[in-house]
């Protein structure tokens, strides 16, 4: 069994896999990691392997803890990947982006694939039909745009997301929401159309925390399951186990 660990800025997402089958997933705070890990290990004593992906600079305590119980793989720029990574600066590439491309490679290995992850930032990652990862783009996410409008102006309020917004905002708050939501939607559709100009049979995957609020506004795309990133990490782990 595999234990998959994705450490973000505010939470730890974990999952237990048997080969490629997801058995259960969990979300908790980093402060509760040792306690939660023991609970998971008690429920699934057959866990032998683990992989850790983190946005934090130092996870040595967690790594040391996991190494006592499992054979641990730490995802970094030197990790063997199930696709050809042609990114010019792999040492700066986010581990979450690697995991998403791995999941895309697992499900759509022979396809031209654009993965859009709508989270804190909106990332665009492209893998071609030769299973080569070429790169993509990074753009501010919905919450980041709302906070920026409030932070960098004297009078604009911080507005809460509301997907029921018209094109023409009849108040300052609704105008902000219209600008952000409709602007992001137009951005996504525009970028997808530009990719499709060069890649006629492009497959588009939408994932991330803001997928649902954007799903009704984007013209096309396949909406990935919420465990898409965890599946990618598990695929990387399985790939390295066979090498």
φ/ψ region of 193 (left if φ > 0, alpha if ψ in -120 to 50, else beta) reads: alpha
Residues tagged active-site:
96
Phi, psi of 155 (to 5 degrees): -125, -15
Q: What are phi and psi of 30, to 5 degrees?
A: -65, -35
Separation of first and last alpha carbons in the chain: 17
Helix, strand, coil distribution of the chain in percent, nearest 5: 40, 25, 35
Q: Contact at 8 Å (CB) between 92 and 46?
A: no
Q: How far is 156 from 179, CA to CA, in rounded Å? A: 13
C-beta separation of 85 from 175 below 8 A: no
- Beta-carbon contacts of 207 under 8 Å, excluding residues fewer than 6 positions away, are 100, 115, 116, 117, 118, 223, 224, 226, 228, 229
Token pair for residue 170?
């009849």
Give the distance, in angstroms, between the CA of residue 41 and the centroid of all CA atoms in the same chain: 25
Report which secondary-structure segment, H or E, holds 63: helix 60-67
């Amino acid at each position: 069994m595999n234990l998959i660990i994705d450490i973000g800025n505010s939470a730890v997402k974990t999952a237990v896999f048997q080969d490629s089958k997801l058995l259960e997933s969990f979300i908790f705070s980093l402060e509760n990691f040792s306690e939660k890990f023991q609970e998971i290990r008690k429920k699934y004593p057959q866990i032998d392997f683990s992989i850790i992906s983190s946005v934090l600079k130092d996870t040595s305590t967690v790594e040391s803890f996991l190494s006592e119980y499992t054979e641990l793989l730490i995802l970094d720029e030197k990790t063997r990947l199930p696709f050809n990574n042609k990114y010019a600066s792999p040492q700066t590439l986010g581990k979450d982006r690697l995991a998403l491309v791995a999941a895309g490679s697992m499900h759509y290995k022979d396809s031209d694939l654009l993965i859009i992850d709508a989270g804190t930032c909106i990332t665009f990652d492209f893998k071609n039909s030769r299973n080569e990862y070429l790169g993509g783009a990074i753009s501010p996410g919905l919450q980041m745009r709302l906070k920026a409008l409030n932070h960098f102006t004297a009078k604009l309020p911080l507005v809460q997301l509301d997907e029921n917004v018209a094109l023409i905002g009849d108040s300052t708050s609704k105008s902000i929401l219209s600008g952000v939501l409709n602007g992001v939607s137009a951005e996504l559709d525009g970028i997808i159309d530009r990719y499709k100009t060069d890649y006629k049979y492009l497959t588009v995957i939408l994932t991330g925390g803001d997928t649902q609020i954007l799903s009704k506004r984007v013209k096309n795309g396949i909406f990935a399951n919420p465990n898409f990133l965890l599946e990618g990490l598990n695929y990387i782990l399985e790939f390295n186990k066979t090498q």
